Chain A
Amino acid sequence: MIEGITVYDVLAVSTIIFFIGIFGFVTRKNLISLLISTELMLNAVALNFVIFNKFLYPGQIQGYVFSLFLIAVAAAEVALAIAIIISLYRMDNSVDADDMDTLKG
């Protein structure tokens, strides 16, 4: 562990990553960018698990295990999302999120 780095510093990093994700999710139009943004948010959360485990309960491993689960879930989710994006692309010949409004009620 690097000396002088506190839990606040690492939390600041994860928070920054998380909001970068949100910013990207709101501003980008490309579906792939949106997917990347959600992955950023997910990773920020996974980082939080590791940090809290490290600093608050050093003797236990639940946080680490949970972050491993998160990675696995994220992988599965990406596979699904990519599949959806590809089929949308085949349908509309576009990956622009503003072109998609099939969810409209």
Chain B
Amino acid sequence: MKYLILIQSNPRSLAIWDKMSDDERAAFGRGHLELNEAMAEAGVHVAGEGLADPSLARFVSVRDGETIVSDGPYAEVKEHLAGFYLIDVPSLDEAVAWAAKVPDAANTEVEVRPILDMSGWEF
């Protein structure tokens, strides 16, 4: 079963990041790299990325067949998605165990969301 581990950036996480020394920040980055490798090594890694700043986002909508593109949030948003891991593991417990290894979990918290699949039970 696939699970998405979501990492948010918010005032709390920014305050912690702000207080970190360069060494601590480097260790934090290494933590993510090592986690990526550990997930790959365990054969559970599907995808994982960090997201660029929300000011670089584009909002896309289609009205009457016309695509309308606008720039990312005009006002500073308090909380935004900063990165994610997509993993394939047998159970929620294992997904939670992987989430606990995300460096951000030690500072704030990360969210684990099950992915809907196409399986079906015969009613």
A binds B: no
Q: Which residues of A contact B (CB under 8 A)?
A: none
